[in-house]
Structure 1
Amino acid sequence: MKLLTRSLRLNLVLGFALSCLVGLLVFGILAHNVALDSYRQTVHQNLVNTYAENALRYYQQNGTWEGVDPGPGEGGGQGGGQPGGGPAGGPDGQRGAEGQGGPPQGQNPQGQNPQGGQGRDDPQKGMRPAKHLGILDTQNRVVSKTEVYPMGQQLDLKDLLFTKTLLVNGKVVGTAFEDPGAGASSPNQQAMINVINQTILMAGVIGLALSILLGAAMAGQLTRPLERLTVAVRSLKFGKQQEPVKEQGTDEVAVLTRAFNQMSDQLVKAEVQRRQMIADIAHDLGTPLTVASGYVQSMQQGKLAATQERLEVVYDELLLLQNLVDDLRLLSLADAGMLTLSLDLIAPEMLLKGIQKAFAFRAEKQNIRLTVQTDADLPEIRLDFERMRQVLGNLVNNALHYTPDGGEIRLLAKRTDGGVLLQVQDTGVGIPAEKLPYIFERFYRVDETRSPENGGGSGLGLAIARSIVELHGGKISAQSVIRQGTTISILALA
């Protein structure tokens, strides 16, 4: 059993062989039985037909069934019929062939009478029946004695296995039959059985050999892609980058290969992003810590005086550090599914007007118009008000960073199938098309020069927005055109 669990190829080959063997056994048994039954029926029917031909000759010569086949133990002289049916007077009293008998009473096998005179042709030549053969008259009464049925017994033709209607000039004169107890076995029949058995055995051996060869070929074809996948998995396990595994066909193995290639590609990207994220976290955490610790150390050593301005710099750096830590904690909770929502029915217009009010002073200071546009009779949407304010506030904050003076930011709410579409549109610088798919990744910055220390964000805002929106069951997406602006859409929040 251990061997079977170690090799899929061996399992497949043995499975093919076993299936073929079972099929061949079933086929062999059925073929043997059908062929043997057909052969037996043919033999027995031929015996009845031969006996019927002899009986007709007797009836045509005599016009009656009287005296036909006196039966075993009857008649005098050398020519009396024998139960086995061989010509009388033979060496052992046995018949030479089934269905044929010896001459009538009073004649020797050469048709001569005991006194040596030349007699007429034996009208019953070939009529001595086997013990299961007999003749019925037109009333289905036995007129030819057998070992099973006595003379004169009336039979039902339905009870007989093999029959042959006897016709003379188109008129039914009787029926030749073989009784149901017939089960003759002859050397010819045994030889036929041996031929059938040998043929089936030879076919089984050839079929089994072919099934093993075919199974080996098919097993190799099935397991070869799996072997390639195994090598690729082992390489991936040790962190080695590799070429995609070649896909062949459209079967389940090809689907598995395609899925593995996609997973491998995603793992490689995730590893690159993980390393980049660690570097970004170290950088974003290190910079404010370095600034704050430098000021504190200098003031502690008396090199700098602890002025209000310098204390405010330290405080700002620590606040930046605190915000970054809070963002990371929020993302970790969202990833772990531990970020809880307090859902309420909120009017979209109220939500957007609250955001407008919060950023109105800053927008006015930058000479940017901040407007709200909503469809009439919008349904209320179920969401966490504070979390969604955080998402929309982050989007508006980004738009204010990248929209020049005299530009416009529009907060929109539109009715859609099954929900409400919230949008933040700006007339800013836009996002390059090649960077648009990555803006919701963590620590990704469209402008890599804008880090927290020089006025940029941490690169976590849009990643947090996506996590919160998806936690609501919604979807966030972005469209942008360079020098025309960007639109961030939040879909299906109802």
Structure 2
Amino acid sequence: MFTIDSIANKFRLSYVVFALLLCAAFVSIFLYAETRIEQELVKGRLLQQLQLSQEKQGEQTVYIANPGIKIYRFDSAPANLKALARETVQEIRVTVNNNDGKTETNLHFFAYQKNGKKYVLTYLEGNEIAMENYPVLAIFEALEDIFANALKVAVLLSLLIAILFSHLSAKQIIKPLLDLKKAVETDHRNLTELTHLPSEVGVLARAIDEKNHKLEQYLKREQLFTGDVSHELRTPLTIIMGASEVLASQLEDNSHLSEFANRISHTAKETSEIISALLLLSRAPEQLDAPQTSINTIALNEVTRLHYLLRHKPVSCRIIAEQEYMAYVRPELLKMALGNLIKNAFQYTDEGEVIVTIDAKKITVSDTGLGIPEKMMPLLYERFERLNDINTGNQADGTGLGLSIVQRIMTHMGWRLIHQANKNGGSTFSIYYHK
């Protein structure tokens, strides 16, 4: 399929356009030359006829000579010809009567002054000028058709040659770009082979190689930072979890302090899981295994874990699923993504209901909360962008990272996140996990 966006097609099209312009220039030059030659030949023939007529007939008001020649003394010429006649040969369309009825043809005419007398000389096309009358003009009219046909053939050949040459040239010009594309797609293994080229492709290859090197260094620093932070945090978290378990074991079963000890232990475990998920996000997707994971179980666990956010609100939550649905995904990543959506729905819904729906294609989290203003839609997944409370005008609690993290997880797993505004207020976020 031809598309103008392709560089190769732009190059081919430029060749064809150039060939058309060149052919148009040659055709224009040919037509101008043909017209000028014909005018000069007609003028020469008519002047010759004027001289012959004056020698044979003397001074007359009108001289008529075959084929199609008529010479007027200026004062006897038709009014329209007197008004239009100049020293150069001109041409107008006229209607004449002949044996076949009325037909249109061209009338050539010009004004000429000789010995103080002025004439209008005319030649009507459509009558064959015999070789014996004026052989030069007769030969020119015979050659005119030959030149016209030859010009048509030349134009067609020029266009065919331009198309063929543009196709071959485009391949040679685009080949270095295709080599560069292939080198980039093959993890830059062959990119160094192109950086030494002196052409524009070499300059582009060097720029890409330098940018890739900087990007690799940046990603390496990010991975090292994530790994170092995770490693340093795991030790204190392990100590916290161990200490909370020891504390819980030493408390009486009905002690009101047991709840706090359990909360410390659960929070430390959740933080450890978050660290694991962040470590997974720092790795390439193809390096991760994707075990079969129960979506229903993770959704139920997240609703239970975050239900404390609804403790003092007239908000209910329910999960709708016809059966147990499974997906090949790291459970840590799905837990973080789904947990952020459920947490937002709980946090920004003051009354009504939050519904988590699971089917064979998607997971949806729908709420009757604040909703998202239209002006915030372009920044929906931007980091540190927080929703404004429409009642107070103040920014809601949170860091503004939740949706950004969810979108990053979706991209990492090759899934899709779609937002829709509910008619009665609130939002619906859908995770499409089947491609």
TM-score range, shorter chain: 0.3 to 0.5
Structure with more helix by fraction: 2
TM-score w.r.t. the length of structure 2 is 0.42
Structure with more strand by fraction: 2
Structure index of larger Rg: 1
TM-score w.r.t. the length of structure 1 is 0.38
